[in-house]
């Protein structure tokens, strides 16, 4: 189905055409007409399927007719990370370039003062992370009483990161009468419960099989001793001349250490994680996209927020504790209809994590032992250390971010590490 058959305004179709898009993706074909009708939507789609345009286009269509009087916030889009907030904001700017609509993004890691000034000037759309949004609410620098549409993007990720209580506080500040859109890569029981509380007679969209990866990604596991992972990674990148590689670690310290080691091996590398300033994260990502950085080492904070066209290689230097995060990590490749390549370096300590991932995917991932890197069968598995989860943006958990009763929720209890 073509975009000009979906009922969007001429201004939006012009912006879509300027981006070179003609035909809508499955999630766009299903979501856009429903959102234009004002329906609540619960949507599940694999990453890289065009879901951001699936809600920004009809949202902009709805808001292009402004009511008289002062400009007010009419739409709120909540995202789990700064990177995703920036990505969604860019989508709003791109598709709304021919409309008299103002939008702003608010997230942590940067000064709050410019955000306050933007809000004072008046905006129609706010894209926010939950923590910084609550900061504005507490300082009374934002008014959400006139919001007409609420979007929860990557809702499962927000639950993973412990934002459920923050989300519920935000909901109390919104009008009861509003349209609600919930987008999630997976539909866990927690997501179903949130949807039941949030959505009003929603239409459910599921454009891909439950909890599956993008089909065009070739997945491969290299069994290897933990102490030789970095050596093997450098060997593969150099031997096969990989030019752009996104590598995932479990911890911030591990990302910094690996980036330094790879640079020492002659591979220009940078790290991106929650302890980095927003400026440093933006620069590292820009350098990676431009080819000035060959290897970008990231924690899971980057698994959802990075939107990199034509990314050929994703490497799991360490497997994630939560199987769904594997799906989000490797989903950074095989975007825009292209094929992708995902490699996991798995030591004996991670065999259980690998089994959990294969159970989620309902498939066995191909294993390939590389000559010269055969695992030492005498090495016994050791427990993987579990760190204290933190809020997105590198801030320590505050009391407002703890689950009810002060106990870790089920997902975080499985060993979520800080991003």
Contact at 8 Å (CB) between 321 and 160? no
Spatial CA neighbour of 294 closest among 242, 251, 349? 242
Using a 10 angstrom Cβ sphere, with 0-12 exposed, 13-18 middle and 19 or more buried, the burial of residue 228 is middle
Tallying the residues shown for the chain, one arrives at: 419
Contact at 8 Å (CB) between 265 and 234? yes
DSSP state of 370: P
Q: What are phi and psi of 17, to 5 degrees?
A: -65, -35
Q: Give the count of beta carbons closer than 10 Å to the beta carbon of residue 391.
A: 22
Q: Tokens at residue 307, please?
A: 């939107």
pLDDT of residue 102: 95
Q: What is the pLDDT of residues 385-399, one digit of tens each?
A: 755 444 433 343 333
Q: Tokens at residue 145, please?
A: 């009483």
pLDDT of residue 388: 43
Fold equal for 3-206 and 217-361 = yes
Select from 3.40.50.2300, 3.40.50.300, 2.40.50.100, 3.30.565.10 the CATH code of 3-206.
3.40.50.300
The list of the chain residues with pLDDT below 70 reads: 46-48, 208-215, 302-307, 309, 334-338, 386-419
Whole-angstrom CA distances from 64 to 78, 97, 154, 264 are 20, 11, 25, 52
pLDDT of residue 417: 33
For the chain, domain boundaries: 3-206, 217-361
353-363 burial: b if 16+ Cβ within 10 Å, else e: bbebbbebbee
Note the Cα 419 to chain centre separation in Å: 12
pLDDT of residue 416: 35
pLDDT of residue 418: 34
pLDDT of residue 82: 86
Where is 75: in which H helix or E strand?
A: strand 75-78
Q: Tokens at residue 134, please?
A: 């609550």
- Give the orientation angle of helix 164-172 with respect to helix 189-198, to 10 degrees: 10
Q: What is the pLDDT of residues 337-349, one digit of tens each?
A: 567 889 999 999 9
Pairing of strands 103-106, 125-128: parallel
Cβ-based neighbours of 50, under 8 Å, separated by 6 or more? 24, 25, 27, 28
| Nearest 10 degrees: Cα torsion 325, 330, 333, 338 | -110
Q: What is the Cα–Cα distance from 147 to 359, expressed in whole angstroms?
A: 41
Whether the full predicted model's pTM is greater than 0.85, yes or no, is no
Cβ-based neighbours of 117, under 8 Å, separated by 6 or more? none
Q: What is the Cα–Cα distance from 176 to 148, expressed in whole angstroms?
A: 9
Contact at 8 Å (CB) between 42 and 203? yes
pLDDT of residue 98: 95
Which CATH superfamily includes the segment(s) 217-361? P-loop containing nucleotide triphosphate hydrolases (3.40.50.300)
- CA angle, corner 43, sides to 41 and 49, nearest 5? 135
Q: What is the Cα–Cα distance from 304 to 302, expressed in whole angstroms?
A: 6
């Amino acid at each position: 189905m073509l975009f000009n058959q979906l009922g969007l305004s001429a201004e939006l179709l012009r912006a879509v055409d300027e981006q070179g898009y003609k035909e809508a993706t499955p999630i766009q074909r299903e979501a856009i007409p429903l959102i234009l009708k004002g329906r609540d939507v619960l949507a599940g789609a694999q990453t890289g399927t065009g879901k951001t345009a699936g809600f920004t286009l009809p949202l902009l269509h709805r808001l292009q007719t402004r009511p008289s009087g002062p400009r007010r916030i009419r739409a709120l889009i909540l995202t789990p990370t700064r990177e995703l907030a920036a990505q969604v904001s860019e989508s709003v700017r791109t598709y709304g370039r021919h409309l008299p609509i103002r939008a702003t993004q608010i997230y942590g890691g940067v000064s709050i003062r410019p955000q306050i000034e933007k809000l004072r000037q008046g905006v129609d759309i706010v894209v926010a992370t939950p923590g910084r949004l609550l900061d504005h609410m507490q300082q009374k620098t934002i008014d959400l009483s006139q919001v007409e549409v609420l979007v929860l993007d990557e809702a499962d990720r927000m639950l993973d990161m412990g934002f459920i209580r923050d989300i519920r506080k935000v909901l109390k500040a919104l009008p009861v009468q509003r349209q609600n859109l919930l987008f999630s890569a997976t539909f866990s029981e927690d997501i179903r419960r949130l949807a039941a509380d949030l959505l009003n007679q929603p239409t459910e969209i599921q454009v891909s099989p439950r909890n599956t990866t993008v089909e065009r990604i070739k997945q491969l596991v290299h069994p290897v001793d933990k102490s030789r992972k970095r050596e093997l990674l450098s060997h593969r990148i150099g031997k096969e001349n990989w030019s752009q590689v996104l590598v995932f670690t479990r911890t911030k310290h591990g990302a910094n250490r690996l980036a330094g080691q790879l640079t020492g091996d002659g591979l220009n590398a940078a790290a991106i994680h929650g302890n980095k300033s927003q400026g440093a994260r933006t620069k590292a990502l820009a350098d990676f996209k431009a080819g000035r950085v060959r290897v970008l080492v990231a924690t899971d904070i980057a698994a959802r927020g990075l939107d990199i066209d034509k990314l050929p290689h994703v490497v799991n230097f360490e497997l994630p504790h939560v199987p769904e995060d594997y799906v989000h990590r490797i989903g950074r490749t095989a975007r825009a209809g292209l094929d992708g390549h995902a490699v996991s370096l798995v030591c004996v300590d991670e065999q259980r994590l690998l089994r959990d991932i294969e159970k989620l995917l309902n498939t066995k991932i191909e294993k390939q032992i590389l000559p010269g890197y055969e695992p030492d069968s005498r090495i016994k598995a050791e427990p993987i250390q579990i760190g204290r989860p933190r809020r997105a943006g590198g801030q320590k958990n505050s009391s407002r971010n703890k689950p009810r009763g002060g106990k870790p929720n089920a997902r975080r209890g499985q060993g979520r590490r800080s991003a």
